Amino acid sequence: MILTCPACSTRYQADSARFASPGRNVRCAKCGHVWFQTPPGAEPEPEPALEPVAPPPSDPVPSVAAPVSSTTLESAITPPPETMQPPRRSARRAANSGVLADAIAWAALIFLAITIGWAAVLYRQTIVELWPGVAPLYEVVGLPVETEGIALTDIAYRHEVEDGLPVLSVMGKIVNVSDRELPVPVIRVMLSDEAQREIYHWMFAAGVQSLKPGAESPFVTRLSSPPAETRNLNIRFAQAGEAE
């Protein structure tokens, strides 16, 4: 026989032999509603308009077979275990993983940039020997490099007065840091203002044509009446084709 819940209309297939006259109470496995079910062919007795009550201990509610619909009784009452897991937890975990991955990527990028910068400063001489065109970049940031094994060292300057006129004297040494004899290039001195704009420059020969390995030679150059707005001095070897 087919039982239909009066409350939610869920239908169940049940054994009619279990419903002897006058009938018995049954409970809907889906909504929990309790009603009195008469056997097939019997007229149900009128029920008072009362709230449904639990069946007496002597007359337990019979187990009911699976409903006619394809949904099983167990799945109708209790959701599958995996649906009880809050979905927000996995989403939050995924978001946290994404933030951690971004932080690691940024840290690696910063570490790589610092490493490259440190190597560019420490090995600047080797870099310039391989790519001479980058030498001016080091000079701009105040890191002069040797040109083809010839270095300018112990650079100093002082202001003097000769015949009542101010004189700027620049002195230093030229050193051959290579393992072979090298020619000595022309030296270029550049003066600039507070904004690092060039206001004057001059070139001079060091007074020695070449230096043997490890040899050095001092030099002095003077400029009479240097520009009053001079704030910075830069000295380096002149490059090929540079004009006076």
Confidence of residue 127 (pLDDT cuts 50, 70, 90): confident
Report all structural domains of the chain as residue ranges with CATH numbers, in order of start: 1-83 (no CATH), 147-237 (2.70.50.60)
Q: 140 is written with which tokens?
A: 């701009």
Kindly report, residue by residue over 133-149, the tens digit of the pLDDT.
666 676 667 665 655 68
In whole angstroms, give the CA distance from residue 115 to residue 113. Answer: 5
Q: 117 is written with which tokens?
A: 């910068």
Percent share of the chain, pLDDT over 70 = 69
Q: 69 is written with which tokens?
A: 């619909």
| 3-class DSSP assignment, residue 37 | strand
- Tell me the range of 11-20, 56-65, 109-118, 186-195 where mean pLDDT is highest: 186-195
